[in-house]
Amino acid sequence: MRTAYQEQLQRLNTILGDMCELAGAAMSRATRALLQADLALAEGVIADHDRMNALATQAEEQAFAVLALQAPVAGDLRGVVSAFQIVGDVDRMGALALHVAKVARRRHPAKALPEEVNGYFAEMGRLAIALAHNAREVLNSLDHEAAARLQEDDDAMDDLHRHLFTVLMDRDWDHGVAAAVDVTLLGRYYERFADHAVMVGRRVFFQATGKLPEQFEDAS
């Protein structure tokens, strides 16, 4: 019975990991669409979002199957409950990448971003993709130390997000209100993408140890 439970939970974590990788790939293409005003890339992200919905449904069905067939208790139950929460986190990551793509599509054929913030968003995109990939690795390995390290890239994302506001508040900003709103919303999308990836790490850490690492205690 214990072996069957572990195999089912591993299959569930594999699906969740695939969702993380899909979210990272979506954010990669959405970022390129944003920086290059590439309508085809943006449309591809939007069209492919149904794949994320299908994986989320598959993950939830697998989690319910574990509950129904294995009747887990204590630490085993903690793993299944964490999996339900992770489905929500990763599904939200995919939705945030979708939002980025929709901004790129809405502003096409113009670029949504002024030139002076392109570097910020290129780096935020890189960090988001890395976080999604690392979240997948954590789900596959259940390495709680690697899960805790996800916070480091999130700290870098938060720094970039804060610096964006110094650009927006500069008296030399001359791109108007619409561009400022786009930059503000887009920055938030990337920042929240990172937060949800960190929450995956938080939940894996809790699943593995029954407690939270110190750096996650105030996470939300």
28-51: pLDDT as tens digits: 999 999 999 999 999 999 999 999
Between residues 69 and 163, which one has the greater pLDDT? 163
Q: How confident is the model at residue 219 (pLDDT cuts 50, 70, 90)?
A: very low
3-20: pLDDT as tens digits: 777 788 888 999 999 999
pLDDT for 39: 97
Q: How confident is the model at residue 220 (pLDDT cuts 50, 70, 90)?
A: very low
pLDDT for 2: 65
Walk me through the domains of the chain, giving residue ranges and CATH numbers. 2-216 (1.20.58.220)
Q: How confident is the model at residue 172 (pLDDT cuts 50, 70, 90)?
A: confident
Rounded-to-10 torsion of CA 110, 111, 115, 117: 150
178-204: pLDDT as tens digits: 999 999 999 999 999 999 999 999 999
Is 209 within 8 Å of 79 (Cβ atoms)? no
d(CA 197, CA 97): 13
Q: Which residues neighbour 202 within 8 Å (Cβ) at sequence distance 6 or greater?
A: 147, 212, 213, 216, 219
117-161: pLDDT as tens digits: 999 999 999 999 999 999 999 999 989 889 988 988 899 999 999
Residues 105-111, mean pLDDT to the nearest whole number: 95
Q: Which residues neighbour 189 within 8 Å (Cβ) at sequence distance 6 or greater?
A: 96, 99, 100
